Amino acid sequence: MILRPLLREETACTSYVFGCLTEGKLPVVDPHEECVDAYIAAAERVGAPIVAVFETHVQADHRSGLPALVEATGATAYLPSGAPVEFEHEELDDDAEVALGNTRVRALATPGHAPAHNAYLVSDLRRKTDDPWLVFTGDSLLVGDVGRPDLHAGGDPLPLARQLYDSMQRLLELPDDVVVYPSHYGGSVCGRALSGNPFSTIGFERRHNGALRHDTAEAFAQALLIDMPPPPADQAAIVAANKRGALPARA
């Protein structure tokens, strides 16, 4: 299995091209509109097509590259069940699995940053096991922090903050050596104390992530709502475009 992270410094977003070269099936996770050509170039360099695009949730801080990537490659779009989008896609319920050659992607429902949010557990059958090797956590578990619960809350973030606590408990049930690949790092407005290191492990976050030190959902939720940064610029327009599946304007 290959893994190619793409870090976009302007928005501190991370997206990923990964997948099976044996059968030539590559997915992309949380694509950024500005990086579509880079995903296609990465796939061309390894000689395998992009066949799937996974969104962890409807993004609120940047325009998604999913519509342009699907148009360019014919890939299947996958989103969490209940994601409020208006374009053709496959819904992934909790524990649903997508087989892409030797790469297996399993959805883990992790609501809280958004009502419909999945993490994606990835196994590589060439390692002679179906145990998860890594997890794409989107905006749920971040390195040194967790995702903010207010951007999709409709005015009252407490219920989503409590849901996020339960989602963190699910992720922390994973083995310590599972590698954490989130969709943001230090500099993003989607958290308060994100590390400049974009990647981590479940074990390291269990030991060192200050947002996870609370023992109850209420304590976690109350702490999460302190010192919230300003929302992303143009949030409403970004969310609306991502729900429509809007393609970028052509020159």
- The structural domains of the chain, with segments of one domain joined by +, span 2-227
Is domain 2-227 given the CATH code 3.60.15.10 in the classification?
yes
pLDDT at 251 over 80: no
Residue 250: its pLDDT value, please?
58
Residue 212: its pLDDT value, please?
96
pLDDT category at 191 given cuts 50, 70, 90 is confident
Listing DSSP states for the chain in one string gives -EEEEEEETTTTEEEEEEEBTTTTBEEEES-BGGGHHHHHHHHHHHT--EEEEE-SS--SSS-BSHHHHHHHH-PEEEEETT----S--EEE-TT-EEEETTEEEEEEE--SSSSS-EEEEEEEGGGT--S--EEEEETSEETTEE--SSTTSTT--HHHHHHHHHHHHHHHTS-TTPEEEESB-TT-TT-SS--SS--EEHHHHHHH-GGG--SSHHHHHHHHTTTPPPPPTTHHHHHHHHHHTPPPPP-
Q: pLDDT tens-digit profile of 194-245? A: 999 999 999 999 999 999 999 999 999 999 999 888 888 899 999 999 999 9
d(CA 54, CA 69): 11
Residue 99: its pLDDT value, please?
98
pLDDT at 249 over 80: no
Residue 117: its pLDDT value, please?
98
